[in-house]
Every structure is written in structure tokens, then in C-alpha cells.
Homo-oligomer: A and B are copies of this chain.
Amino acid sequence: MGTTDKPADPETATKVVPPPSKEESEATPPPPKPDYLFLADVALRFLVFAASLTSVLVMVTSKQTVFRGRFPVKAKFNHSPAFIYFVAALSVAGLYALLTTLASISVIWKPICPPKLLLHFAFLDVLILGLVASATGTAGGVAYIGYKGNEHVMWQKVCSAFDKYCKHIAGSLATSLFASVLLVLLVWLSTFTLHKKIRQD
């Protein structure tokens, strides 16, 4: 590194350049630096998309058939309205994350990130966070009853028989919890970037 650098021309190095006038320095903006906060934004959005997609796929493929005597008993995710809501909410979140990832990438080449875009992103991110958090809670509450049962109301355990089914649901829930945390970080990042812009101005 640096071995191929030419030595500085002594004439140009010693030549004193007059400092630019105040008007000139205001007119020419500094060269655009890569905005690391915005790169983090794109990365987080893509991770939310990946987590949502994984969560939906793992939930949808959670099928198991168990034989009780001669009779087959099936367990599918759409036997519970909570899991259907979960799949719908995470699908919306995944689609939203994909679209905003593309929108972020299209903006990343511009030298200055428009604050209005950050505002819109923060507004929508909060809504999607509420959606994903509530869906994770809903599915988690029902899955907990399936895992532990509830003696007070005589709701039996399900996971003792349907072990593979429950593992799928647990994996799906863990991934959507991860997506919720990422969405919190995304809103924090948008808000922090807006705050940083105030301090720069």
C-alpha cells in the first residue's frame, strides 16, 4: 500500500493556493461522502424482508399427521385463526420491506438523502412494527397454550403429540421476533438520521 504513489511535485506542493472566498466555499458543496447510516438502512430493510419471508415459509410448511389408533389426525397452521393472521401480517411486512429496500437502493446514489423520504419511511415503519409485534404476540399466545395447555379451562397440550409441527411454529415465531427487533432498529435509525440532520444544519 502506498508504494506506487508518486512523490509530490515540490513546485506544486510549495505553491501557496489562495483561500477561496466565503461565497465560493458556500456555493460549491463538499464532495458527497457515502452515507453509512443509509447503507445500514438498506441492510436492515433487506434483513426484515428475509426474516419475514422465512417466518411465513416456516409457518406455512408446518404440517404434521399423527395416527391415533387407525385414525389420522392432521395439524396445519390454518387450523388456528391466530396463525392465519400471523401469516397475513408477516406477508404484508415482507412485501413492504422488499419495496422499501428497492426504494432505498434507488435513492442511495443521490448525494443527499431527502428528509421527506426518511419521514415517510419512519411513518410506515412504525405501522409495520405494530403489525408484526401484534402478530407475533397473537401467534405466541396461542402457541404457548399449545405447548403448556391451560388446566383452568381444560385446554389440552398439542405439542406433546405434534412435536414437528410445534418446532416449525417456534422457529417461525423466533424469526418474526427478530423481524420486530429489526423494525425497532429501523425506526430508531430513521429518527436518528433526522436528528443528525438538524445538528448538521
Q: Interface on A for B, CB 8 Å cutoff?
A: 75, 79-82, 115-116, 118-119, 122-123, 126-127, 129-131, 133-142, 144-146, 148, 150, 152-156, 158, 180, 184, 187-188, 190-192, 194-195, 197-199, 201
Contact = CB atoms under 8 A, between A and B. Distances in A.
Given A129-B129, A129-B130, A137-B136, A150 B79 contact: yes
A2 to B, nearest CB: 39
Contact of A129 (B119, B122, B126, B194): B126
Given A82-B145, A129-B129, A191-B191, 8 more contacts: A115-B195, A122-B191, A123-B191, A126-B188, A130-B133, A137-B140, A138-B138, A142-B145
SS class, residues of chain A in contact with chain B: helix
Q: Which of A82, A133, A141, A180 has the largest count of B CB atoms less than 10 A from its CB?
A: A141
A88 B57 CA distance: 32
Contacts of A75: 152
Contacts of A116: 195
